[in-house]
A and B are shown apart, each in its own frame.
Chain A
Amino acid sequence: MSEKKKDVLLSIGASLLCIVIGLFVGLIILFCINSENAIDGFIRIVKGGFYLAPKGIGSEISQAAPLIMTGLSVAFAFKTGLFNIGAAGQYTVGVFGALFFGIILHMPWYVCLLAAMVFGAIWGAVPGFFKAYFNVNEVITSIMFNWIGLYLVNELMYNTIKGMYDQKTTRTYKLSAVSPQSVIPDLGMNSIFKTSSTTIAIFIAIAIAIIMYIILNMTTFGYELKACGFNKDAAKYAGINEKRNIVLSMTISGALAGIGAGLYYLSGAAEWNPQVATALPAIGFNGIPVALLALSNPIGVVFAAIFVAHISVGGSYLPTKYYQPEIADFIVAVIIYLCAFVMLFKGIVMNLLRKKTKKSEHAGKEVK
Chain B
Amino acid sequence: MENDYIIEMLNITKEFPGIKANDNITLQLKRGEIHALLGENGAGKSTLMSILFGLYQPTSGVIKKDGKEVQINTPNDANDLNIGMVHQHFKLVECFSVLDNIILGVEPTKGIFLEKKGARQKVMELSDKYGLMVDPDALVSDITVGMQQRTEILKMLYRDNEVLIFDEPTAVLTPQEIEELMKIMKNLAKEGKSILFITHKLNEIMEVADRCTILRKGKYVGTVDVKNTTKEELSKMMVGRNVNFSVDKKPATPGETVLKVEHMVVPSKAHANNAVKDISFNVRKGEIVCIAGIDGNGQSEFVQGLTGLEKMSSGKITFNGKDITNATIREKSKLGMSHIPEDRHKHGLVLDYSLEQNMVLQRYYEPQFQNAGFIKTKEVRKYAEKLIEQYDVRSGQGPITIARSMSGGNQQKAIIAREIDKNPELLVAVQPTRGLDVGAIEYIHSQLVAQRDSGKAVLLVSLELDEVMDVSDRILVMYEGELVGQLDPKKITVEELGLYMAGAKRDEVPAEV
Interface of A toward B, CB cutoff 8 Å: 2-4, 218-221, 223, 226-227, 230-231, 233-241, 354, 358, 361
Residues from chain B with Cβ under 8 Å of A239 in the complex: 328-333, 362
Closest Cβ of chain A: how far from B303's Cβ, in Å?
A: 11
A219 to B353, CA, bound (A): 15
In the assembled complex, B448 has its CB within 8 A of some CB on chain A: no
| B57 & A354 in contact (Cβ 8 Å cutoff) | yes
User: B residues within 8 A CB of A219?
Assistant: 373-375
Q: Which residue of B lies closest to A240 (CB)?
A: B330
Q: Are A4 and B353 in contact (CB under 8 A)?
A: no
Contact A227 B374 (CB under 8 A): no
When chains A and B are docked, how far (Å) is the Cα of A95 from the Cα of B58?
57
For the complex formed, measure the closest distance between the CB of A80 and the CB atoms of chain B, giving whole angstroms: 13
Residue B365 interfacial (CB < 8 Å) = yes
Which residues of B are found within 8 Å of A218, using beta-carbon distances?
374-375, 377
- In the bound assembly, the distance between CA atoms of A220 and B365 in angstroms comes to 7
In the assembly, what is the distance between CA of A233 and CA of B347, in Å?
Answer: 5
Does A233 contact B400, Cβ atoms closer than 8 Å?
no
Q: Is B341's CB under 8 angstroms from A3's CB? A: no
Cα separation A5 to B362 with both chains bound (whole Å) = 28
Which B-chain residue is minimally distant from A238 (CB atoms)? B361
Interface flags for B344-369 (1: CB within 8 Å of A; 0: not) read 00111111110001000110110000
Residues of chain B having any CB pair with chain A under 8 Å? 17, 57, 59-60, 309, 328-333, 339, 341, 346-353, 357, 361-362, 364-365, 370, 373-375, 377, 397, 400, 402
- A–B pairs, 17, beta carbons within 8 Å: A2-B400, A3-B397, A3-B402, A220-B374, A230-B351, A230-B353, A231-B352, A234-B346, A234-B348, A237-B329, A237-B361, A239-B329, A239-B331, A240-B330, A241-B330, A354-B57, A361-B59
In the bound complex, do residue A220 and residue B373 qualify as a contact, i.e. CB atoms below 8 Å apart?
yes
With both beta carbons as reference points, the residue of chain B lying nearest to A227 in the complex is identified as: B350
Q: Which residues of B contact A2 (CB under 8 A)?
A: 400
| Residues of B with C-beta under 8 A to A230 | 350-353
Closest-by-CB residue of B relative to A362 is B60
User: Cβ of B347: which chain A residues have Cβ within 8 Å of it?
Assistant: 233-234, 236-237
CA of A358 to CA of B370 in the docked complex: distance in angstroms? 43
With both chains docked as a complex, state the minimum distance between the C-beta of B374 and any C-beta of chain A, in angstroms.
6
Q: Could you say which of B328, B331, B351, B402 contacts A231, with CB atoms under 8 Å apart?
A: B351
Minimal beta-carbon separation of A213 from chain B (angstroms): 13
Residue of B nearest to A239 (CB): B330
Point out the residues of chain B lying under 8 angstroms from A241, CB to CB.
328, 330
- Nearest-neighbour CB distance to chain B for A295, whole angstroms, equals 14
List the 4 shortest-distance A-B pairs measured between CB atoms, nearest first.
A239-B330, A237-B347, A239-B329, A230-B352
Contacts of A231 in B (CB 8 A): 346, 349-352
B309 CB contacts on chain A under 8 angstroms: 236-237
Q: With a CB–CB cut-off of 8 A, which chain B residues contact A233? A: 346-347
Nearest B residue (CB) for A357:
B59
* Beyond A4-B400, A240-B330, A241-B330, 18 additional pairs, beta carbon < 8 A: A220-B373, A220-B374, A230-B351, A231-B346, A231-B352, A234-B349, A235-B350, A236-B329, A237-B309, A237-B329, A237-B339, A239-B330, A239-B332, A239-B333, A239-B362, A354-B57, A361-B59, A361-B60
Q: How close is B363's CB to chain A, nearest CB, in angstroms?
A: 9
Which of these, B333, B350, B400, contacts A234 with CB under 8 Å?
B350
- In the bound complex, residues from chain A placing their C-beta under 8 Å from that of B374 are 218-220
Contact between A358 and B353, CB atoms less than 8 A apart = no
A220 neighbours in B (Cβ, 8 Å): 364-365, 370, 373-375
| Chain A hits for B17, CB < 8 A | 3
The answer for the CA separation of A2 and B309 in the assembled complex, in Å, is 37
